[in-house]
Copies of this chain bind each other. A is one copy, B any other.
Amino acid sequence: MAGPKNAISSTVVQRVTTRDARYTLEDGAGSDAIHSDPQYSYAVTQLHGDHGNTGVGLAFTLGSGNELVCQAIALLSGALVGQEIEEVMSSFGETFHAMAEQPQLRWLGPHKGVVHLALASITNACFDLWAKSRNLPLWRLLLDLKPAEVLALLDLTYLEDVLTGPEVLAMLAESALTRSLREGVLTTGYPGYDTSVGWFGYGDERIRENVRAALDQGFRAFKLQVGAPDSDFDIRRATKLRAMVGEDAYVMVDANQQWSVPKAIRVCRELASISPYWVEEPTHPDDLLGHQTLAREISPILLAAGEHLANRVVFKNYLQAKCLGFVQVDCTRVGGVSEFLTVSLLSRKFGTPVVPHVGDMGQIHQHLVLFNHVGLGHPLLFLEYIPHLRPHFVWPARVENGVYQVPQEAGCSSDLKP
C-alpha cells in the first residue's frame, strides 16, 4: 500500500469512457414499498490515465434510465481530458462548480436528477484516479490532507448563510486537536448494520433465516422495509423482528417515501412499540415541512433521510429545520465525494450524525465514514451493509464479525469486474 508521498507521479487523463453496468438481483432482493423491481445499476465513469491507472466513478440507479446518466457523463466530462489529476484536485471545488453550473445542462436540474447523478459519477472517478495515482486508499489520502486542501475540494456556493470557507478551516483545525483519540477505528474497523434481512418482498420465514444468519455474522443492527398499504402488516413484521433480535439490538424501519404526512404520523406512533432507532424516508423527500411536522409529532422517535436528497442546498434546509436525527447522504446521489464531504461538514456544524445510504454497497463509503469520524469528529455509529453485488467488485468490502475491515487497496474500492 501507501508509498511515500514524494512517489506521486503525474497522471494525465487521456480519455473518458462510460459503462452501463446492470445487475439482476435474486427474487425480491432490494425491493421496497415503492421500488418493486430494482435492477441495481451503475452509471460508471472511467478516467483513463496515461500510466495505466483508471479512475472509476459510480452513480447508482435502479436500472431503466441508467443509460441516460451515462450519456450525461459524456456531456459533462469533456473538459477533464488532457488534465493532470493532481492539478484538478488541487482546486476540485472549481472543477465541480464549472460542471454543476454548465449553463445549458444546468436547466435539467439544477443540481438534481440525471445530470447530478452524472456529476456524482465523474467526481467519484476523479477521487479514485487521484487516490490511485498516490497509491493510497481514499480514507488515508483524505486524512493526510491539510485543511486548506480539503477546503479546495468543495463548492460552498449557496451555503454562505450557514457555512463559509473560514468556518470549514476552523472546524478541521479543531477536529485535528482530538484526532488521535479516534484513530483506533483505523485498526479495528467500522461497524456495519444489515439492511438486507427484511426486504419488502421477503416472507416471514425468509426474514427469520436472514436474521439468524446476520446474528451469527455478528451484526447487532438491522433494517426492515415497511410501508405496506395496511399498517398492521408493518407492525406485525416489525414486532417479530424485534422479538428475534432482542431488546438490545438496533432495529430501523424504512418506509421508502410510501406514506403521506398524516399516515406517517399514525404509523410511526404505532411503531413506537418496537422502539425503532430511526424511521427512514417516511414521506416524499421534497417535503421538508412535512418532515418537520412529522419530527415534532412523533418525538422522541428520530427520522433519517438522504438517499433522495439531491444536493447540499437541500441538506442545508433539512439541517436548518432540525427534523433529521440521522443524515443519510450518499456519494452516488449527491455530487460525489466532494459534495458528500460538504454535507458531512454541514452536518457536523449542526451536530447531526451522518449514516450514509450506500448506493455503492459501502465500497466508497467505508472510506468516507473513517474520514468523517477521524478527520471531522463525527460519532462512530454503523455503516449500511448490502451484500448483493459483492461478486461484481474487484475489492469487495471485507465485513468480519459485523465490522467493515479497513480497506487497504489504493483508490475508492469501486473497481468493477469486466
Within the complex, what minimum Cβ distance (angstroms) separates A349 from chain B?
Answer: 15
Chain B residues contacting A284 (CB-CB under 8 Å) are: 110-111, 158, 313
Chain B residues contacting A68 (CB-CB under 8 Å) are: 68, 71-72, 108, 114
Known contacts A261-B160, A262-B160, A313-B287; A62/B115 CB under 8 A: no
- List residues of chain A with CB under 8 Å of any chain B CB: 34-39, 61-65, 67-69, 71-72, 75, 101-117, 157-158, 160-161, 257, 260-263, 283-290, 293, 308, 310-311, 313-314, 316-317, 320-321
Cα–Cα, bound, A102→B283 (Å): 17
Within the complex, what minimum Cβ distance (angstroms) separates A33 from chain B?
Answer: 10
Q: A61-B104, A111-B284, A284-B313 are in contact. List 13 more A-B contacts (CB 8 A).
A: A37-B103, A38-B103, A65-B72, A67-B71, A110-B308, A111-B286, A112-B286, A112-B310, A113-B115, A158-B260, A160-B262, A161-B260, A289-B316
Beta-carbon contact of B65 and A115 below 8 Å: yes
Cα–Cα, bound, A107→B158 (Å): 25
Cα–Cα, bound, A395→B273 (Å): 62
From B38, B105, B117, B285, A104 is in contact (CB under 8 Å) with B38
Cα–Cα, bound, A261→B317 (Å): 13
Beta-carbon contact of A289 and B72 below 8 Å: no
Beta-carbon contact of B112 and A37 below 8 Å: no
Q: What 6 pairs between A and B have smallest CB-CB spacing?
A: A113-B113, A64-B104, A160-B260, A114-B114, A286-B313, A62-B107
Chain B residues contacting A314 (CB-CB under 8 Å) are: 286
Beta-carbon contact of A112 and B113 below 8 Å: yes
From B69, B110, B161, B260, A157 is in contact (CB under 8 Å) with B260
Chain B residues contacting A293 (CB-CB under 8 Å) are: 161
Q: Which residue of B lies closest to A309 (CB)?
A: B286
Beta-carbon contact of A35 and B112 below 8 Å: no
Cα–Cα, bound, A113→B261 (Å): 24
Chain B residues contacting A310 (CB-CB under 8 Å) are: 112, 286
Beta-carbon contact of B107 and A35 below 8 Å: yes
Chain B residues contacting A67 (CB-CB under 8 Å) are: 71
From B71, B104, B112, B288, A112 is in contact (CB under 8 Å) with B112
Cα–Cα, bound, A309→B347 (Å): 25
Cα–Cα, bound, A204→B69 (Å): 41
Cα–Cα, bound, A311→B38 (Å): 24
Chain B residues contacting A111 (CB-CB under 8 Å) are: 284, 286
Q: Which residue of B lies closest to A315 (CB)?
A: B286
Cα–Cα, bound, A61→B72 (Å): 14
Chain B residues contacting A285 (CB-CB under 8 Å) are: 110
Cα–Cα, bound, A351→B263 (Å): 26
Cα–Cα, bound, A101→B284 (Å): 12
Chain B residues contacting A62 (CB-CB under 8 Å) are: 103-104, 106-107
Cα–Cα, bound, A257→B314 (Å): 15
Can you give 19 A-B contacts (C-beta < 8 A)? Answer: A35-B103, A38-B107, A39-B104, A64-B105, A65-B107, A65-B108, A65-B114, A68-B114, A108-B117, A112-B112, A113-B113, A158-B260, A161-B260, A161-B262, A284-B313, A286-B310, A286-B311, A288-B289, A288-B317
From B104, B108, B114, A37 is in contact (CB under 8 Å) with B104
Chain B residues contacting A63 (CB-CB under 8 Å) are: 104
Within the complex, what minimum Cβ distance (angstroms) separates A25 from chain B?
Answer: 12
From B283, B289, B290, B316, A287 is in contact (CB under 8 Å) with B316
